[in-house]
Structure 1
Amino acid sequence: MHSDRGTQYTAHDMALACAAHGLRRSMGATGICWDNAGAESLWSSFKHECYYRHAFATKAELVAAVDNWMIFYNNDRRHSALGMRSPIDYERTLRATTEAS
């Protein structure tokens, strides 16, 4: 799990939660905003495309919305940086190119 060095990410409870779920933690360097640019872009897209457009009555609804949006983001949403392909399609292209070599 990559994050910045915010107190919520450096907290002991976060370290325990990551360990319990088998997540390896990494953090960007202090004062270097570009270290976390990919994660910031992802969450900005999520907030503008999903979160701000819905009212969630329960935590379960929010969790389901995050899960559904992440599936959409990786499998169906086209990304200009990937030649208007989804991340899954882009990875398939890379894999096919590697296997053909």
Structure 2
Amino acid sequence: MSLTVGMLLSACGGTASPDEQMDYLRSMAQHGVEHHAATSPGPVGDQEECADAYHQLYDGPTGDNAPHVGDYAERAALRKEGERLFIESCVTGEPAPVTGEP
């Protein structure tokens, strides 16, 4: 039993790989595109409305879908980049490019 608990704790405490982090960022860009399609009447969405939508969907304990990374500063940076990608994609209706390391 203790082996199973130890394995679960190890799995939960691990840091997301760079690929998992990039997948998260790509998904945030895609969520922005989907929100644009569902709410924007024209080709360009409103930046303030997109920012508000992001905060309604992803702020707080129930909306945080960012993968676990090494420390608080890294997690905050990853979430901030996810926010930027969501908003940019929401405004343009096209997925914002995800480049480099998160």
Q: TM-score range by the shorter chain?
A: 0.3 to 0.5
Larger RCO, structure (CA 8 Å, separation 6 or more): 2
Larger Rg: 1
Q: Provide TM-score, normalisation by structure 1.
A: 0.34
